[in-house]
Amino acid sequence: MSTLILIRHGQSLWNLEKRFTGWVDVDLTEKGMREAEKAGFLIKERSINIDLYFSSLQTRACNTLKIIQKILDDQKKFEKIWQLNERHYGALTGQNKIEMGKKIGKDKVHELRRSWDLKPEPLDKKSPLHPLNNKIYEDVPKEMIPDTESLKDTYERVINFYKKKIENLMMNNNILISAHGNSIRAICKFLFKLDDKQISSLEIPTGNPLLIKFDKKYNIIECEYLDKDRSNDLLVF
C-alpha cells in the first residue's frame, strides 16, 4: 500500500484580496501559515512516513510545505516542479474577482474560471505580472511559459508530469505534493476519473490535506480530508 497526500497551499495574500493570482508569486497570509501548521499536525497524527516531497515553484506552495516539514521534523529536500504551478489566468491576472463580476457579469467570470477549455485573453508579455518577467521562472523553458491557460491546458501539463514522474514512484513511496487549487484539481480529475463538468464544480480547500491510499495495483482504497472541522468545504468522493 502507498499513500499520496495532496495539499493546496494555505491562504495567500491575493486569496485574501480575492484577486486572480495564477503565476504571480505571492506569499501566505498569517491565516495561511496557521492552516499549513494545522495540516502538519494532522499529518503527524497519522504517523505517516513521507518519503518524497514535491512543490510547485511558487512561494505560497513552497512555504506551506516548509511549515509542514517543520511540524513533521523532516527536513528532506523537496523538488520544485514548475508543472505543478497554478493555472495562468491571462489578462485576468491581478484583477479583483468581485470587481470583474460587476464589470463583465458574475456568470462570465464563473465561465472564465471554470469552463474546461475556455481561456481568458492572453496577458501582455511586457506586463510586470507576466511570468517571463519574474526571476523564479528563469529556469523554465521560455517556450513553455504560458500567456494564458484553460483548465484543460493546466490539466495536460500537470498530468504529463504526474504520469512521467509520480506514477513511477507511487508503488514504493509515500508522497506529499504541495500545490494549488487548479493543479490539484487536475490530479483529482485524473485519479477519480471525473468528467469535464465534474471538474468544473470541484472545490479544493486551502490547507486541508487530502489523503489517498492505493493498493498494489494502484487502485484507490481510501480517500479522506484530514481536517474534519472544515467538512462544509469538501467534496465527498
Give the active site residues. Answer: 9, 86
Name which of 187, 142, 197, 153 is nearest 167 in CA terms. 187
The angle, 0 to 180 degrees and rounded to 10, between the axes of the packed helices 151-161 and 181-191 is: 70
For 207, the 3-state DSSP assignment is coil
List C-alpha distances in Å: 115 to 90, 99, 215.
14, 20, 33
Distance separating alpha carbons of residues 100 and 159, to the nearest angstrom = 30
Measured over the CA atoms of residue 43, residue 54, residue 183 and residue 128, the dihedral's sign is positive
Asked if residue 138 lies in contact with residue 132, where contact means CB atoms within 8 angstroms, the answer is no
